[in-house]
Chains A and B, each alone.
Chain A
Amino acid sequence: MKFNKLFFALFVSALLVLAACGSDNGDAEDAEGDTDEGGEVEQISVFQSKVEISEPLEELAEMYEEETGIEVDVWGTTGDDYLSQLQVRLNSNQGPSIMSVQNIQVADQLDSYLYDLSDMDVADDIAPDMALEFEDRLVGLPYGIEGFGLVYNKDLVDPEDITDYDSFVQTLQDFEEEGINGLMLSQEAYFLIGHISNYPFSLQDDYMAFIDELNEGETTMAEHDEFQEFGQFMEAIREHTVNPLDVNYDRQVGDFVNGETAMIHQGNWVASMLADYELDFEVGLMPFPLDGNDQQIVGVGGNWGVNGNKDQAEIDAAIDFLEWIHNSDVGHEYMVDEFAHVPGFTHIDADGLDPLAQEVLDASNSGDTIPWAHNYYPADIVPNDLAPAAEEFFLDDSMTGEEFIERLDEVWEGAVR
């Protein structure tokens, strides 16, 4: 019987492999207790959320191992499930030595794991307002500074023409008559509502206090003029541009590149997408003119944190590795050129940045900026609550901007219940 032969072959190969496997258990079990007798650490691990920098980080880790003999194991996962993976690992004592802490809300959840980094040498070099602090402890070093806003085609748009609501709407109308799409959002939760919803928050005197009040139910968005105007802006976008729900990120960037759309609401990270195309125009980044705003909005997209639940020796080794990245020439080179980050540190020079990143850096250096508020939103409220509300708004033309803001109030209340 042919079948029996097949099965026999499977059986034998399985046995062989089993035997081969026996030897793998020996060296793979050191994920955790990786200190040897003398308390010397041989291996640390890094688990981080920005897939885009995985490969250069692995290269850095190799160089570090050659230099110091300490093995740095870089773990990976897709961009969207980092936090739940981290949670599962921390809960089962399988946590990494170094991890990403995306923002202060995550720092709040991870509080009991995060080691205070105030004593690090690089702590003093962090750019103003870019340190991740929680309850007076420094719990994260910034990956880099990022900004978003209206990314525009310099051949089509003059930023002088867009300074407030009226001129914004006028611009969209003009483009509409020319048969060009004035502004394009896209369907992904952060690109649809997450980032653009920042402005009315960021323009409050103290956005954190405002969000706290909102969470407590002591105030509403609807009673503030910035939000009402934001509703008007969104209405204008819905009326004069293509439906963002029909557009994904790839299409948004493609349409921008071939001139079918004049502006997209994106961040400087879009440069890596633009690099895949041959651009025949220059791009710029301008502030979103809500309430006449003329300041760039900048913030930190991720932070390096150290797992304080490890042995002191492993914590020290993790800190050494971070110091090395932030204080060595090769580290600086990688951060700027390979990670393509706008450094969040004053002692790191950034040359040769792409034009969008350069605008972010200039704005940040001038200090004339508004902060990212979405880092302080309740965790995951953007995909879970704000995006569905925005989808309703874009699907239902009869919903006014005012009703949209009321809807946002409703879902916000539901999310923090």
Chain B
Amino acid sequence: MSKHHNKLWYLVFVLPLFIIFATVVLIPFFIGIFYSFFEWDGFSANPMVYVGLDNYIELIDDGRFLNSAWLTLEFTILSLVLVNVLGLGFALIVTSALKSANFARTMFFMPNLIGGLILGYIWQFIFSDGFRVIGELTGYENVFRNWLTDTDLAMYALVIVFSWQMAGYMMIIYIAGIQSIPGEVMEAAEIDGANYFQRLKNVVLPLLMPALTISLFLTLSFSFKIYDVNLSLTAGGPANSTELLAMHIYNEIFGYNNYGYGQAKAIIFFIVIAAITLTQVYMTKKREVEM
């Protein structure tokens, strides 16, 4: 009786959201997998030819795809570090007793609201004109030049802008984590005579593991699928040096109109990043339990 009841409650709690989620995300995703076995230009009135696994086999030798995958990995690792260092740093500062913390909390968060072409316009200006002026003033003209027209530096420019945008977002999650640390623990540590950095290392950071898991995963997922910032800041250039995967796939699907092939790339991309990130979630979750 009670067991039956529990099952019913399970359905009541889980099913409504899952149905919506499945309709909007899962089913379209599976339709996408289905398309990846066809050669098709993406217009439903035009012919679809079943090609089996050919699309998947073809992408093994696709140099531009592999290069793009490599760039995405590089981008992700760099932003993972920068976003989380900034986000955690901001969170620690703005939850302190400083009077200006309230003001800073809103300010750090604002970049997250600016997107699209305007983000690109502003930052292109900063990198071209702003950096030139800084270079002239400081004399470091070989460092402060237009990063966006340099095939090596454009990637770092992208990391900076993305981190600028995302740090405030992750800050919010870290703040929530810090807020859930019981006050007594902090007080006890203080009474024991621990200084700020000891408290940080031995009390705050271990208790922030759940927030860290979440933030790391979210940064991974946002940077793997970065598209908007990529498009508006560099559009993949110069000379394809910042064409990250989501943009590469978008171009394959809507630019070259290779729908099936583009979907195959998307599926492989998904499998690889899912393997990486879910391992990460699993590992950090395990650490949480041990704590």
> Which A residues are within 8 Å of any B CB, using their own CB?
78, 83-84, 87, 90-91, 109-113, 189, 243, 245-246, 248, 309, 379-380, 383-384, 387-389, 391-392, 395, 414-415
Contacts and interface: CB of A to CB of B under 8 A. Distances in A.
Interface of B: 41-46, 64, 117, 124, 128, 146, 148-151, 235-240, 250-251, 254-257
The SS class assigned to the B binding surface is loop
Contact of A87 (B43, B146, B240, B256): B43
A109 B41 contact: yes
B135 to A, nearest CB: 13
B237 A387 contact: yes
Contact of A388 (B45, B240, B254, B256): B240
B147 to A, nearest CB: 12
Given A379-B255, A379-B256, A246 B128 contact: yes
Contact of B239 (A91, A112, A391): A391
B44 A90 contact: yes
Q: Which of B124, B128, B250 has the most CB of A within 10 A?
A: B128
15 contacts: A83-B254, A109-B41, A109-B257, A110-B43, A112-B45, A243-B149, A245-B146, A245-B148, A380-B251, A380-B254, A380-B255, A380-B256, A383-B235, A384-B251, A395-B150
B246 to A, nearest CB: 14
Contacts of A91: 42-44
Contacts of B117: 78
Contacts of B235: 189, 383
Contact of A395 (B45, B149, B254): B149
B3 to A, nearest CB: 33
Given A245-B238, A391-B238, A87 B251 contact: no
A414 B250 CA distance: 17
Given A388-B236, A388-B240, 16 more contacts: A84-B250, A87-B42, A91-B42, A91-B43, A110-B43, A111-B46, A112-B43, A245-B148, A245-B238, A379-B256, A380-B251, A387-B237, A391-B237, A391-B239, A395-B149, A395-B239
Contact of B45 (A113, A380, A389): A113
Contact of A90 (B43, B149, B151): B43
B45 A246 contact: no
B46 A388 contact: no
A281 to B, nearest CB: 26
A78 B118 CA distance: 13
A392 B148 CA distance: 13
Nearest to B149: A245
A383 B255 contact: yes
A91 B40 CA distance: 13
A7 B251 CA distance: 43
A185 to B, nearest CB: 13
A379 B240 CA distance: 18
Q: Which of A246, A309, A383 has the most CB of B within 10 A?
A: A246
A246 B237 contact: no
B34 to A, nearest CB: 14
Nearest to A387: B237
Contacts of A90: 43-45
Contacts of B254: 83-84, 87, 380
Contacts of B41: 109
Given A87-B43, A109-B41, A109-B43, A379 B257 contact: yes
Contacts of B148: 245
Nearest to B125: A248
Nearest to B44: A91
B128 A395 contact: no
Nearest to A395: B238
A246 B146 contact: yes
Contacts of A243: 149
A388 B238 contact: yes
Nearest to A379: B257
A-B pairs, top 5 by smallest CB distance, nearest first, are A112-B45, A380-B255, A84-B254, A391-B238, A392-B239
Contacts of A309: 45
Nearest to A92: B44
Given A245-B238, A392-B239, A395-B151, A384 B255 contact: yes
A395 B254 CA distance: 28
Contacts of B150: 395
Nearest to A396: B239
Nearest to B132: A246
A141 to B, nearest CB: 22
A414 B255 CA distance: 14
A383 B256 CA distance: 11
